[in-house]
Every structure is written in C-alpha cells, then in structure tokens.
C-alpha cells in the first residue's frame, strides 16, 4: 500500500484532521489491525476494496465500489483487502488524529486494550 498525505499539521497546519490517499495494489491485504483512538472515514475512488470486521465469531465483509463510504470507529479491529487480481484500489482517508496509529493484531478477535474512564 502506498499512502500520500494531503491535509495534515505538517502540510497545512491542521490540528485535529488528517486526510490522504492510499493506493492498494491488486491481490493485497493490510492484515488485521485497529487505529487506536482515531476515527477513520474512507471514500472509495476506484477499484472494489473489501473491508473485513469481526461480528461475534463471524467475519463481516463489506464489499465496496467507487463512490462508497466506510466508517471505522476507534479501536475496532478490521482489515482492508483488494481481491482484484489486476486492478489497483484507490481510497481517500480522513482520520481524527495527526498520528498514523496502526496497531497490528494477530486476528480480528484479538483483545483490544481500550482506555477506560476512571
């Protein structure tokens, strides 16, 4: 995956918003992960990426096409896939943190450390 920063503290001085573009090669997946405290919104520009989440003991696969939007809440384990054997997928990502938080997980069902309100 190739990521390109567009809007950030470094590029335009934003304090809480980060946006950029990601290119996902054919037959590629991200591996299971979450983005910590960050909220993430994704807009599908081209290709047909699949977003995989755990729901109970089952995998939920959300198949997308250009023009679709996906929301990933904080701390939610997921992975992105581009199942196409020959077409790159391009997505625009917006997140609520400047830091590119990626916490790799052994599976979608791994325990996720979440902050608690004391």
Q: What is the pLDDT of residues 39-95, one digit of tens each?
A: 999 999 999 999 999 888 889 999 999 999 999 999 999 999 999 999 999 999 999
Q: Is the pLDDT of residue 102 over 70?
A: yes
Tell me the per-residue pLDDT of 17-43, one tens digit each, with 9 for 90 and over.
Answer: 999 999 999 999 999 999 999 999 999
Residue 49: which residues within 8 A CB-CB, separation 6 or more? 24, 64, 80, 81, 82, 89, 91
* CATH numbers and ranges of domains, the chain: 2-104 (2.60.120.10)
pLDDT of residue 79: 95
Phi, psi of 11 (to 5 degrees): -85, -35
**Can you give the pLDDT at residue 118?**
46
């Amino acid at each position: 995956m190739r990521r390109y920063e567009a809007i950030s503290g470094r590029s335009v001085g934003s304090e809480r918003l980060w946006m950029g573009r990601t290119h996902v090669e054919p037959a590629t997946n991200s591996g299971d992960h979450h983005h910590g405290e960050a909220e993430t919104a994704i807009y599908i520009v081209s290709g047909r990426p699949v977003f995989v989440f755990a729901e109970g003991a089952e995998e939920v696969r959300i198949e997308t096409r250009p023009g679709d939007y996906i929301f990933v809440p904080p701390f939610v384990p997921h992975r992105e896939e581009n199942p196409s054997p020959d077409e790159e997928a391009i997505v625009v990502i917006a997140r609520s943190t400047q830091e590119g938080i990626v916490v790799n997980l052994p599976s979608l069902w791994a325990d996720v450390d979440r902050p608690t309100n004391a």
